[in-house]
A and B are shown apart, each in its own frame.
Chain A
Amino acid sequence: MTELRRTLARQRYLLDYTVASMSRRRTRNLGLLLVYVGMVFLLASVLFYSSALKHEAGLLLAEAPDIVVQRMVAGRHALIPAQHAESLRGIRGVRVVEGRLWGYHYDPAVRANYTLLVPPADDVEPGTAVIGPALARARGAGIGDVLSFRGQDGTLHPFRIAAILPQESALASADLFLVAESDFRALFGIPEGQYTDIALQIPNPREERTVAEKVLEALPDSRPILRAEMLRTYDAVFDWRSALVLLPLSGALLAFAILAWEKASGLSADERREIGILKAVGWETGDILSMKFWEGGLLSLLAFLFGTAAAYWHVFGLSAPLLAPVMQGWSVLYPDFRLTPAIDATQLLALFCLTVLPYLAATLVPVWRAAVTDPDEVMR
Chain B
Amino acid sequence: MANNLGLAVKPVTETPAAEIERVAAWINTEEYKDLNFKREALVVMPPHACQPLGAELVAHAFEGSLPFVHGSQGCASYYRSTLNRHFREPAPAVSDAMTEDGAVFGGQNNLHEGLENAIALYKPKMIPVFTSCMPEIIGDDLTAFIKNARNKGIVPEGMPVPYANTPSFNGSHVHGYDAMLLSILQTLTEGKKMEGRCTGKINLIPGFDANTGNFREYKRIFAEFGAPLTILGDISDVFDSPCDGTYRTYPGGTPLADAGDSVNGKATLSIGPFSAAKTFAWLKDNYAGRHVAIPMPLGIAKTDEFIKKIAELTGKPVPDSIKEERGRAVDAMTDSHQYIHGKKFALYGDPDQLIGYVSFLLEMGAVPYHILCSKGSKKVEKEIQALLDSSPYGAKGKIYMGKDLWHLRSLLMTDPVDAIIGDTHGKFIARDANIPLFRYGFPVFDRVNRHRYPIIGYQGVINMVTEICNKFIEIVDETCDDRHFEMMR
Co-assembled chains A and B: no
Give A residues with C-beta under 8 Å from B: none
Give B residues with C-beta under 8 Å from A: none
